[in-house]
Structure 1
Amino acid sequence: MRRLLLTLLLLLPTLALAQDDNGEDERKVLSAEVLWELDRIGSPAISPTGDWIVAPVTDYDVEEDTGETRLWLFAADGSVERPLTVEGQDASSPAFSPDGDRLAFVAKRGDDEAGQIYLINMGGPGEAQKLSDVPTGVGGLKWVGEHIYFVSSVYPDMDWEAMEEKLTEEKESKVSAHQWNALPYSSWDHWIDEERQNHVFRMPADGGDVEAITQPLGRQLSRSGAGAGSYDVHPDETHIAFVADRKLDGVDPDYDVFLAEIGADSADNLTAENEASDSTPMFSPDGETLAYLQQDIAGFYGDTQDIVLVDLDSLEQRNITEDWDRSASGLVWAPGSDGFFGSIQDEGTVRVFFIGTDGEPRAITTDTSYGDLAVADDGTLVGTNESFLYPPRLVRIDSDSGEAERLSTINKELLDSVDAGSYESVTYSGHDGADIQMWVNYPPGFDESKEYPLFLLIHGGPHGSINDVFHFRWNAQTFASWGYVTAWHNFHGSSGFGQDFVDYINPDWLTAPYNDTIAAAEWFADKSWIDGDRMVAGGGSYGGYLSSILLGKAHPFNALMIHAPVYNMYSQMAADFAVHATRFGNFWENPEIYKEISPHYYAEDFDTPALIIHGQQDLRVPVGQAFELFRTLQSKDIESRLIYFPDENHWVLKPNNSLYWYDEVRKWFANFAEPGPQ
């Protein structure tokens, strides 16, 4: 009987609309299947006049295991919502002309071997017209003045015809070998061809020849990836600002901001004195100022980003946010050039701020999270808004009151049929008595008079955070729909809580986050509605690291799920990014750090059942880490399971693989913590 009841409980999340005793339809839960029915809205572009917004919308066909992205058109007054580009052909990167009459975007159509620039008139119906024919493809579009600027990964010593021949030869070659003579050799999920360089080009919006902009300057954009945020063009098209690695050794890059006249043969390094990263150059609308983001600590990607302003007449610079303990991100210039709108991580929520050029920040929004900001010349501000209960939707934001008006109805009908449970933010006392913010997601129909199992999630990074956002790959409400109270805690090292908090765990990745995790479990154990005998935990990337640490230290969890774990800090050298090397030394230079924090040194004490998951194409945390951990567990006769995806990377992104991932995690935990209230 108990097995039968458990089987029925496991089937519940996969059911569609059930019926109550009266035969009436009940609402669905937010199952993994429902996640893949939802359309996904991307970053919007707004016309200069503020009348129109264009955003990419992706929908998935689970049966075909494919997704398609089309551009959708929205009116700023909410009166229009419809597809703009044709079905069956992906489109992305929308960019309006300065007068708003035309739209450029990237698509791969017909005989295109790579993405090209297409143009469409906004004034009426008509087919999009192809503008570019760049064999290496285009990306990172910006329409400035009479030209459309883009980034392409080119062979620097070849003309376009020779590049096309080279690409054809490579496509037809039977040799699969890659060769490198220097770093970098990979980035996240793809190999880097050291023969190619990322550069900015432009071509007239009315058609004409492609002109190289950064290539004559002797500097290339980041080899690991470059896009629209890697460069900006002066409104008068006189200058370009871009980000390039000053050191060029590929081992410890130092990204600086360079400024050059368009057509010149050299560029000035504006940030040569700063050894940490500088990024995201942005010319002000009035053309008088260049802004960029600056970090202070070399080798620390989670360091606070400050806004620095450069007077373009005198080249004098001033840091306007050095006294603000938040990291600037997601910035767009206000049309009056008197400040920025930004989507800023702030204690577990991504809020819209206005930061004036005097450095004074003002929070515009409060609850739920906002991002992907775009602003028109008339001040119309749009972006996306999301929470744990709903995915990103397009909104217009009142920059004074913070009120948001929804412009898209995409997903509304589906979500109206879903009971997504509830959630709240709580604070508990963690390592050394510090306040730790945590999100708690409750199952649909939560009844605090009963006892529920706990699934404690451990986020990656570690210098990221779990904000009030809708996560498609690790959806807390989907986990809760299985019958678990599900929690994400923002342990020491999480971003959005100030510089001291984010840097607290360096180089000791272990002590404070582990203590924060145990304290979170103890917080729940004290609740009458949690069954302390039914607790499980898990995470991915750094969350996989900390879950691996739990394997060898005291904890209350019956089982763990460990995805893409940093398990062996030595063999992590095979990754595209050496974690502590730049700042604290390599393992042969400072071995004690690695011995103290590497999970594999705690293998003697491993005794917890664990589900290990990894993808072959993960180059940030190489797949060997999972195989090392699985062999260790099996050698110690600890119940364990390894799930291997040959076609996934650091994330499981394909629809059917994702459904399988969710189902396997659900079944694994059900073996050790029976779901549902008791």
Structure 2
Amino acid sequence: MTLTQKFTPEALLSAPRRSPAIPNCDGTLALYTVSTYSFEEHKRSSQIRLLKIGAGQSNVVVDDTAASEPVWIGSGEFIYLKGGENGTTNIVHVGDIVSPKPKTTQIASVNGAISNVKVTHLANNTLAFVASALATPEGKLYNGETAQKPLSSAKVYTSLFARHWDSWNTENVSSLWYSTLVKADGKWSLSAELINALAGTGLSSPVPPFGGTGDFDISTSGLVFVAKDPELDPAIYTKTNLYYIPLSSFTETSPPAPTMVQTPGLEGYSNSPVFSHSGKKVAFTRMKSNQYESDKTRLLVVPDISDLSKPAQEFYATEDGKGGWDSRPDSILWSLNDSELFVTAEQTGANVIFKLPSSPSEADKLPESVRSIDSGSVADIKILSTNTNTTTTTTTTNPTSSSSSETRLFVTSSSLIDNSCYSIANPSAGTFSTVSSASKQGKTFGLHRRSVSDITFKGAGDYDVHALVMKPSDFDSKKKYPLAFLIHGGPQGAWADSWSTRWNPAVFAEQGYVVVAPNPTGSTGYGMALQNGIKGSWGGRPYEDLEKCFEYIEKEMGYVDTERAVALGASYGGYMINWIQGHPLGRKFKALVCHDGVFSTLNQWSSEELFFPIHDFSGTIYDNREEYEKWDPARFLNEWATPQLIIHSELDYRLPVTEGLAAFNVLQAKKIDSKLLVYPDENHWVLKPENSLVWHREVLGWINKYSGVEEEQKRMAGQQVNLADRTQDKAE
């Protein structure tokens, strides 16, 4: 791509996007994918690349937009998936990848769209192979291209969950399929057709709409997976259980029935099951509440997966059931000798790694955070073999030397100025080294760490609130800059020191704003008290926290011109924009931007995951209508007065497009400057590059118009033209 000297939306959206890197068993090489969109050619390209960890250099091994999901099957060979004709998926083998021309061979063609591949070694030249794909009601592999099409477009439902996220639900459900890959005469092949592990069970995994490889794991002993509880309505309850299917050969034509792992007192989401290296134990997370999607996750372990007569053991369990660790563990990794666990969790605006013993009985103190990167947030962790000799610069925070038996981690991370970084962390020695970073792109555009800072201020009560701050790359402390006030969604979410291609603070900062991104009541990563404080107080404590933030900026940040402030938010952030519009804080802003926001809380039952409003508004709308009405932005329409841009998408089934239309209609009827941007082909997020570019242009054009940045840009452009003319005159 052609780089410019300014970090623009075009630069953001056309920058290469790297996946987490997966090291091989030797720890010498890693595979990752990278995709790039060209606005000149209006198409996306993708590659599978090979990273030489010791040298920090990479090269292309597969250049094909249809290729995805590289998976190691040996230290120097891997397989990947490639979309085929008529809805098929090809499994392709790449061997001897360090050679100048690696040999590529198609080893199987599956009659359907498979994804989320996992493999594990069973014996010499035999691998267990598991993938996910849709299954028909009869338990057969579904192929959307060749399936008979109905003559009518009508949809008939007799139960909840008619639609979910951006799709109308059908009779076909996600399932897990297994077989083996066998090597004979130097060639790999799929030993038999894929077998549906969940046929006839009434269970579905991975769990839609975002379930993937984190919903299941495999070992030589079998398969563990999470699935919605079939006895409860999935629209009303969050409960997902962990199940185990013993498989000795992964060729069983009639798999054993799944056995559920017992977790007394914990009835919510189960996530992230991971087998120990021995295959005997399984670590996973589970929530307590069965109607709170953002409840605190508890870390658990199954001591012996072959004996499920006893319940799983919880780490840091307390008699009151609250749990002794006030964090929400996410992904899990076993150490090389299975004696320790490494887990990721949010902490103060970042995602970090924690280390703890792998047995709850030995976890007598809270987990220690592990230094793994300079700054930013961890996106993925993998075990790295101790054979690696890296030549990159190492930062040491603990003088203790490491031994060859210690577990090292291969870490994928990002930050507000770096969209991808690969590094090696040695938790025991307290060292880390950067292997490969994409930060050179940020540096090309002038992005640097000194542009990023944070503030802490008192919230509505006796608690602190944290906010991230990003300044323009050419920041001058003697000048004053308009404020871009960003409000995150969720509401149980948070702004973090991590990269985003949808809401990237640097894009706003480079327009000439100081960006402040507060994490008020309801935010994750600051303890459950702050997070849970939003229940029954959607427009209460969070709004007051935002008022306190604005007051802090006025008093303490003299380089910010709050007279030229703008505010933007999406999802719950969009709700808050509409709430602010009807309250005094709304008069502090020159313009507002509401993306997929809530117009009226009385419409929350047009959503799909009904457990969400049931929890946050303390009951159903027919049992507790007063709570829904109390925090309804539509109650305050008479106060709406600030110019506002409304953005909504027609495939957003979480917040239907009518929420955006209603807000726009009110603004127009009241003769308030307003604009409506609608996407017929996007969901709750704007993901397509061309659509995203329009999003950025409309959003930036809107806020720049009312903040005065547009006039500044015109004036600067005029000065540059005049300077160029004078330079030309002198030359002549």
1:245 aligned residue: 229
Offset, 1:342: 2.4
Structure 1: stretches of 5+ with no match in the other structure: 1-14, 18-27
Of stretches 438-447 and 313-322 in structure 1, the one that deviates more from structure 2 is 313-322
- What residue is the counterpart of 2:380 in the other structure? 372
SS of equivalent residue, structure 2 residue 11 = helix
CA distance 1:434–1:242, change in 2 (3 Å): closer
Contact 1:572/1:622 (CA < 8 Å) preserved in 2?
Answer: no
Task: Give how far 1:127 is off.
Answer: 4.4
- How far, CA to CA, are the matches of 2:437 and 2:673 in structure 1? 47
Judged with a 3 Å threshold, the aligned counterparts in structure 2 of structure 1 residues 652 and 65 are, in CA distance, closer, same or farther, namely: farther
> Any idea what the Cα deviations from partners look like across 1:389-438, whole Å, max 9, x if unmatched?
111222222333554433335563x4332112601011011111421111
- The one-letter amino acid paired with 1:620 is R
Instruction: Select the residue among 415, 421, 434 that pairs with 1:387.
Output: 415
Instruction: Decide whether the 8 Å contact of 2:57 with 2:436 is kept in 1.
Output: no
Tell me what 2:348 maps to.
347
Cα pair 1:137 1:152 within 8 Å, conserved: yes
Residues 369 and 240 (structure 1 numbering): CA distance in 2 closer, same or farther, change over 3 Å?
A: closer
**Structure 1 residues 246 and 333 mapped into 2: Cα distance closer, same or farther (>3 Å)?**
farther
Q: Residue 537 of structure 2: SS of its match in structure 1?
A: coil
**Residue number in structure 1 paired with 2:663:** 629
SS at match of 1:570: helix
Counterpart in the other structure of 1:105: 80
Change (3 A) 1:154 1:314: closer
**Alpha-carbon distance in structure 1 between the residues aligned to 2:530 and 2:425:** 30
Q: CA deviation at 1:84?
A: 1.9
Q: Report whether the alignment pairs 1:509 with 2:538.
A: yes
Q: 3-state SS of the aligned residue for 1:184?
A: coil
Contact 1:184-1:224 within 8 A present in 2 as well? no
**In the alignment, does 2:506 pair up with 1:477?**
yes
Contact between 2:221 and 2:279, CA under 8 Å: does it hold in 1? no
SS at match of 1:53: strand
Kept after mapping to 2: 8 A contact 1:41/1:393: no
Structure 1 counterpart of 2:78, one-letter code: L
1:582 Cα offset (Å)? 5.2
Q: Is the 8 A contact 2:86 2:145 kept in 1?
A: no
Q: Does 1:213 align with 2:208?
A: no
What are the within-5 Å matches in structure 2 for residues 36-55 of structure 1?
Answer: 36-55=13-32
Partner SS for 2:81? strand
Aligned length: 644
Displacement of 1:483: 0.9
Pairing partner for 2:443 from 416, 424, 427: 416
1:72-91 correspondence runs (5 A)? 72-85=49-62, 87-91=63-67
Scaled by the length of structure 2, the TM-score of the pair is 0.83
1:275-286 counterparts in 2 under 5 A?
275-286=267-278
> C-alpha offsets along residues 285-314 of structure 1, whole Å, 9 cap, x if unaligned?
112211110111222121111110111155
User: Distance between the aligned counterparts of 1:293 and 1:664, measured in 2?
Assistant: 41
* CA separation of 1:529 and 1:241: change in aligned 2, threshold 3 A: closer
Relative distance call for 1:376 and 1:614 in structure 2 (3 A) is: same
Out of 673, 683, 697, which is 1:639 matched to?
673
Please list the CA deviations of residues 584-625 of structure 1 after superposition, one character each: whole Å capped at 9, or x if unmatched.
221111101100112122222212111101122222222111
Structure 2 counterpart of 1:271, which letter?
A: Q
**8 Å Cα contact 2:69-2:116 kept in structure 1:** yes
Alpha-carbon shift at residue 237 of structure 1 (Å): 3.4
Alignment partner for residue 138 of structure 2, among 157, 167, 173? 157
Decide which of 21, 31, 53 is 2:8's aligned counterpart: 31
Instruction: Please give the per-residue CA displacement for 1:298-336, whole angstroms capped at 9, x wherever unaligned.
Output: 221211111101111554422114311111012222221
Question: Is 1:320 matched up with 2:320?
Answer: no
Q: How does 1:568-583 map to 2 (within 5 A)?
A: 568-578=600-610, 579-581=612-614
TM-score (ref. length: structure 1): 0.90
Given candidates 248, 254, 258, the residue that maps to 2:243 is 258
- Structure 1 residue 239: deviation in Å? 4.7
- The aligned residue for residue 168 of structure 1 is 146
- Asked whether the equivalents of residues 613 and 626 of structure 1 are also in contact (C-alpha less than 8 Å), the reply is yes
Q: Does 1:464 align with 2:493?
A: yes
**Cα gap change, 1:396 to 1:476, in 2 (>3 Å):** same
Deviation at 1:443, TM superposition (A): 1.1
Q: CA deviation at 1:370?
A: 1.6
Distance (Å, rounded) in 1 between the aligned partners of 2:55 and 2:652: 41
Tell me whether 1:59 sits opposite 2:25 in the alignment: no
- Residue identity matched to 2:515: T
Instruction: Evaluate the alpha carbon distance shift between residue 214 and residue 131 of structure 1 in structure 2; reply closer, same or farther with a 3 A threshold.
Output: farther
CA-to-partner distance for each residue in 1:632-671, whole Å, 9 max, x for gaps?
A: 2122222211111122221222222222211211221122
1:652 to 672, 676, 686: 686
- Of 209, 225, 231, 2:216 maps to 231
| In structure 2, distance between residues paired with 1:586 and 1:338 | 46
Cα deviation for residue 141 of structure 1 reads 0.8
Structure 1 counterpart of 2:293, which letter?
Y
Match of 1:590 among 624, 627, 644: 624
- Are 1:136 and 1:154, in contact at CA under 8 Å, matched by a contact in 2? no
Which letter maps to 2:114? V
Q: 1:393 to 1:277 in 2, by over 3 A?
A: same
**Structure 1 counterpart of 2:325, one-letter code:** W
Distance 1:178 1:223, change over 3 A: farther
Who is 1:287 aligned against? 279
Distance 1:340 1:346, change over 3 A: same
Larger RCO (CA under 8 A, 6+ residues apart) = 1
Structure 2 letter corresponding to 1:117: I
Distance 1:400 1:272, change over 3 A: closer
- Counterpart of 1:228 in structure 2: which amino acid? T
Tell me the amino acid that sits aligned with residue 670 of structure 2: K
Is 1:191 equivalent to 2:168 in the alignment?
A: yes
Q: Take 1:136 and 1:191, find their aligned partners in 2: how far apart are those partners? A: 20
Contact 1:184–1:223 (CA<8 Å) still a contact in 2?
no
SS in structure 2 opposite 1:36?
helix
Unmatched segments (≥5 aa) in structure 2: 122-126, 183-189, 317-322, 387-406, 716-732
| 1:168 counterpart SS class | coil
**Aligned partners of 1:513 and 1:29: how far apart in 2?**
34
Q: Which moved more, 1:124-133 or 1:28-37?
A: 124-133
Cα deviation, 1:161-217, whole Å, max 9, x if unaligned, reads xx55x742446x564333433232333223321x11221111221222122222254
Aligned mate of 1:300, from 292, 296, 311: 292
> Match of 1:318, as an amino acid?
Q
Cα distance change, pair 224–531 in 1 and its aligned pair in 2 (3 A): closer
Is residue 559 of structure 1 aligned with residue 559 of structure 2?
Answer: no
Taking only aligned residues, the RMSD between alpha carbons, in angstroms, comes to 2.4
Between 1:370-379 and 1:47-56, the stretch displaced more is 370-379
Q: Residue 603 in 1 paired to residue 637 in 2?
A: yes
Partner secondary structure for residue 215 of structure 1: coil
Contact 2:235/2:608 (CA < 8 Å) preserved in 1?
no
Aligned partner (choices 566, 571, 589) of residue 541 of structure 1: 571
1:658 & 1:266 partners in 2: Cα distance? 46
Quote the offset at 1:465 in angstroms.
0.8
* Cα deviations by residue, 1:77-124 (Å, 9 ceiling, x for unpaired): 135401121x23332222222x43431222214x25244432222454
Contact map agreement 1:140 1:227 (CA 8 A) in 2:
yes
Secondary structure of residue in 2 paired with 1:536: strand
Decide whether aligned partners of structure 1 residues 540 and 373 sit closer, same or farther in structure 2, where only a CA change above 3 A counts. same
Distance 1:487 1:51, change over 3 A: same
CA–CA distance in structure 2, aligned partners of residues 512 and 144 of structure 1:
49
* Alpha-carbon offset, residue 252 of structure 1: 2.3
